Amino acid sequence: MKQNRNKLLYPLVIFFSTLFIYIFFAGRFRFLFPTTIYNYFSFLAEAFLHGSLAFISTPPYLHDLTSFGGKIYIYWGPAPVFLILPFVLLYGKEISDAFYTSIIASFNPLILYLILSQIQKLKLIRASSYQKIILCVFFAFGTVHFYLSIFGTVWFTSQVISTFYLLIGLFCITRFSESRSLKTLILSALFFGLAVNSRSTLIFYLPLFLFFYITSYINSNNSLKKKLYLLIFFIIGAIIFSLNTYYNYLRFGSFFENGYKFQNYAAHFAEDKEKYGFFNIAYIPRNFYYMFIHLPTFINKPPFFSFDTEGNGVLFTSPLFLILILLIKRKYWQNTKLKLFNLSILVGIFLIMLFLLNFWGTGWVQFGYRYLLDSIPLLIVLLAEVINEAPTILSIALLIFSILVNILGTLWFLNL
């Protein structure tokens, strides 16, 4: 009975603690929630409610928006709007985007805890409840997810909501791996499709989704059902993809034009874009430097570090990831299932990193390196494998340092 109570208690504590802290920061410590000038999803929600795909009112600033045929659009996938619509319907487009982003973001550490618990039931990780809490606290307050969750703006809101969809999809596919329920599989495909629609780099989670699907049938002789369910998974993905391409066609007359070509991008990156385009290996040295290496400058007044709006290395801003070096131990590669599990994660991380390193932007203006949120859930699953091997005092020390740096970085970003 006590164990069952703890199963409910831990997720609830994680959720309500995260919710309070996120709302406290989003409300600028006085529960006064600002509406940013980049609340573009609110404008799109207003347009959808009026049956339009283009903005029906003009935002105060057009940075990163798409102008086409005398109308204003966004190039971001429309899926985040589905969660924002109820807020805009009730309170109008002037509702604080920091407010609704922080509320949605508060669910992400909770869902991550449920995913880790489910993977533990599948005997792929051996983290204790205490260690799973450490990892969820780290995700909530020791990574870029923290500051992305409390500011609003179209860029941050898009990343937070795409992560929300992704985590629900991951939870459902881990549940399917145990239950082989068609309903759970459909939900996993639906939310994975919404995640990719929100942020295309998340397509690289597909190897992990396929791992959980395939391993659920290792001891099953029902090959017809296995093939049928897999077909259903891909049909749902194809439907979501087709709807998105049709959405593009209705706006720009092309199935594969999402508006990126007509984007009012920042002059900060104009020279690079004109010289190299959107993707080029020429971007790799710069992106690698800001993603992993670049350290902030120490100063003798709060917040004690001068961070770089171009980005600072994740090994400084979230050093708990350093214990991933333990993954080289043979015990994590001792059977076929573990090998496939780790490889599906590492392949996903590699493809995401390859995409980001060749991309023309660093995520500017930012604290840390916000694009890394795409791969952080994968990295945390790997951490759940190895955290048992790390000395507890080391894990706690790295966790505390990560949280302090991210609090300072968030305070620094608030003052920009």
Which pLDDT score, from 0 to 100, does residue 359 have?
A: 95
- DSSP for 308-320? -TT---HHHHSGG
Which pLDDT score, from 0 to 100, does residue 140 have?
A: 98
Question: Average pLDDT in the 65-71 region?
Answer: 95
Question: Average pLDDT in the 379-402 region?
Answer: 97
Q: Which domain holds residue 8?
A: 2-414
Alpha helices (runs of H) in 27-78, residue ranges in sequence order = 40-49
What's the chain's length in residues?
416
Number of folded domains in the chain?
Answer: 1
Which pLDDT score, from 0 to 100, does residue 273 have?
A: 84
Q: Kind and range of the H or E element at 351?
A: helix 336-357
CA distance 71 to 53: 10
Which pLDDT score, from 0 to 100, does residue 3 have?
A: 57
Average pLDDT, the chain: 94
Share of the chain above pLDDT 70, in %: 98
Residue 30: is its pLDDT beyond 70?
yes
Label residue 168 exposed, middle or buried (CB < 10 Å: 0-12, 13-18, 19+). Answer: buried
In angstroms, the Cα distances linking 355 to 244, 366, 386 are 21, 19, 26
Question: Average pLDDT in the 214-237 region?
Answer: 86
Reported as a single tens digit per residue, the pLDDT across 252-294 is: 999 999 998 888 887 888 888 889 998 999 999 999 999 999 9
Reported as a single tens digit per residue, the pLDDT across 118-167 is: 999 999 999 999 999 999 999 999 999 999 999 999 999 999 999 999 99
Which pLDDT score, from 0 to 100, does residue 142 have?
A: 98
Which pLDDT score, from 0 to 100, does residue 218 have?
A: 74
DSSP letter (8 states) at residue 98: H
C-alpha angle 92-45-15 in degrees, rounded to nearest 5: 80
Reported as a single tens digit per residue, the pLDDT across 322-336 is: 999 999 999 999 899
CA distance 362 to 279: 12
- DSSP for 224-262? HHHHHHHHHHHHHHHHHHHHHHHHHHHHHS-TT--SGGG
Which pLDDT score, from 0 to 100, does residue 266 have?
A: 79
pTM, two decimals, is: 0.96
Strand, helix or coil at 215?
helix
CA distance 262 to 232: 35
- Return the structure tokens found at 183: 């309903």
pLDDT band at 219 (very low <50, low <70, confident <90, very high): low
Which pLDDT score, from 0 to 100, does residue 322 have?
A: 97
Question: Average pLDDT in the 90-99 region?
Answer: 97
